[in-house]
Amino acid sequence: MRYTKPHFYDTFECLADRCPDTCCAGWQIVIDEDSLDKYEQVEGPFGNRLANSIDWEEGTFLQYERERRCAFLNEQNFCDIYTELAPDALCDTCRMYPRHIEMYDGLREESLSLSCPEAARIMLTCQEPTQILSWETEEEEDSFDEDEMDFLLFTRVEDAREVMFQILRERRLDIRQRMTMVEMLAEKMQQCVDECRDYEIDDVIIEAEEAFREACNAIDLSLKDMMDKEEDNIPDVYSALCREFTVFKEMELLRDEWGQTLDHMWSVLYAGGREQYEELCSRFDQTYGCDSKYREDWQRIGEQLMMFFVYTYFCGAVYDEWIATKIRMATFSVRWIQELVRYRWWENGEKLTMENVIQMSWRYAREVEHSDENLGILEEWLQGE
């Protein structure tokens, strides 16, 4: 069995009562069958509490209306199941979160969820490029059959992801250029799959690697070319953002405050028209963004977010063949986290801290990326793009 994980994976430690927004509120926590069986057998007063605080039909913990807090989260923000029973009495969801696992044939990929404030802090404050550690054990996993997973496509998707990692970690290139190269590779792969030319994907990956090397050999030229093109594209950025914003309105709201943030963000950033938006962006870029003394931090944050989304989601394309959509979702998410950060900067009187960046990242992830329903809506929408 092969395993992978980001190099910072083991540094995670739950903040528990120091967490700014505990994961035990706001979400419906689904309990696995084994834990339900265990909870059913607990006796005494705590057994009664378990019996009355679980929705046995849905297999979820009940929540208090106010803030949708889990019925077992006490006033000190500690879990009563953990303290009254034992740490291993926690259900799989609570024991695992924010650790996330993706399974493929013979491969288990572990990651941390961006929706957890501490995991987001670890990822976004990591100064060095994210490395993906890989190791093997003798252990055998139940193998997948061919209907579940196209093995050949998986090898190609994994190879392509390796090239994407190389591109994303190349700090001599502007992050916007790195993202464009990754998008182009995914779009070309998608074309091959759509036209039943899967056998050409290997060549597409080799070409992308060569184009990347050429870009590295001509850093100044490639960056200048890209900036020139971007100058021409400025009108489209505003229109594209206004169009993309509509997809948030189709999603379920996990928290009312998220809806308020979106409405206010619309009125501050976009409702005033393109000229006002561009003027605000230019002020941001000069103080905290890509034209400021924080340029390297801004670039590094974009890189770490892209690494997170590509690592966590790209190989999932083997199940639905939505190769391009997986990368569109990554670039969409990075773009909108950056927009949320701009909004927060404006709200703070044009000031920004790393804490603000971390907070906007996990808030986006909680509402959009960590909700199966919202992720589905976003992927469907991006698939049509």
116 vs 168 by CB, closer to ligand SF4? 116
Considering only 97, 308, 313, 345, the residue that binds ligand SF4 (CB under 6 A) is: 97
Residues 6+ positions from 79 with CB-CB distance below 8 Å: 24, 70, 72, 73, 90, 94
* Least separation in angstroms between CB 76 and ligand SF4: 12
Report which of 299, 300, 303, 301 is spatially closest to residue 311, judged by C-alpha positions: 303
Considering only 31, 63, 112, 117, the residue that binds ligand SF4 (CB under 6 A) is: 117
Residues 6+ positions from 337 with CB-CB distance below 8 Å: 305, 360, 361, 364
Residues 6+ positions from 350 with CB-CB distance below 8 Å: 283, 284, 287
Does 111 bind ligand SF4 (CB under 6 A)? Our answer is no
Alpha carbon distance 354, 122 (integer Å): 12
14 vs 377 by CB, closer to ligand SF4? 14
* Least separation in angstroms between CB 168 and ligand SF4: 25
Q: Which of the residues 132 through 171 are near ligand SF4 (CB under 6 A)?
A: none
Task: Determine the size of the site formed for ligand SF4 (CB under 6 A).
Answer: 11
* Least separation in angstroms between CB 113 and ligand SF4: 8
4 vs 22 by CB, closer to ligand SF4? 22
Alpha carbon distance 81, 83 (integer Å): 6
| Cβ-closest position to ligand SF4 | 19
Q: Which of the residues 4 through 33 are near ligand SF4 (CB under 6 A)?
A: 14-16, 19, 22-23
What's the token pair of residue 172? 């001599």
The β-bridge relationship of strands 2-6 and 107-112 is parallel
Does 54 bind ligand SF4 (CB under 6 A)? Our answer is no
73 vs 189 by CB, closer to ligand SF4? 73
Burial per residue of 231-262, b for 16 or more beta-carbon CB atoms within 10 angstroms, e otherwise: eeeeeeebeebbebbebbeebeebbeebeebb
Report which of 336, 334, 335 is spatially closest to residue 262, judged by C-alpha positions: 336
- Return the C-alpha torsion angle 85, 90, 91, 95, nearest 10: -170
Stretch that binds ligand SF4, among 115-123, 133-141, 276-284, 369-377 (CB under 6 A): 115-123
* Least separation in angstroms between CB 97 and ligand SF4: 6
Does 369 bind ligand SF4 (CB under 6 A)? Our answer is no
Considering only 6, 26, 98, 302, the residue that binds ligand SF4 (CB under 6 A) is: 98
Is the peptide bond preceding residue 45 cis, with omega within 30 degrees of 0?
A: no
Does 36 bind ligand SF4 (CB under 6 A)? Our answer is no
* Least separation in angstroms between CB 182 and ligand SF4: 28
Residue 134's SS3 state is strand
Does 238 bind ligand SF4 (CB under 6 A)? Our answer is no
23 vs 368 by CB, closer to ligand SF4? 23
DSSP-assigned letter for residue 73: B
Residue 2's SS3 state is strand
25 vs 378 by CB, closer to ligand SF4? 25
What's the token pair of residue 110? 């572990």
Give the distance from CA 198 to its chain's centroid: 28
* Least separation in angstroms between CB 131 and ligand SF4: 23
Does 381 bind ligand SF4 (CB under 6 A)? Our answer is no
Strand partners, 55: 60
Does 96 bind ligand SF4 (CB under 6 A)? Our answer is no
Element (H, E) at 124: helix 117-125
Does 116 bind ligand SF4 (CB under 6 A)? Our answer is yes
Q: What is the binding site for ligand SF4 (CB under 6 A)?
A: 14-16, 19, 22-23, 97-98, 116-118
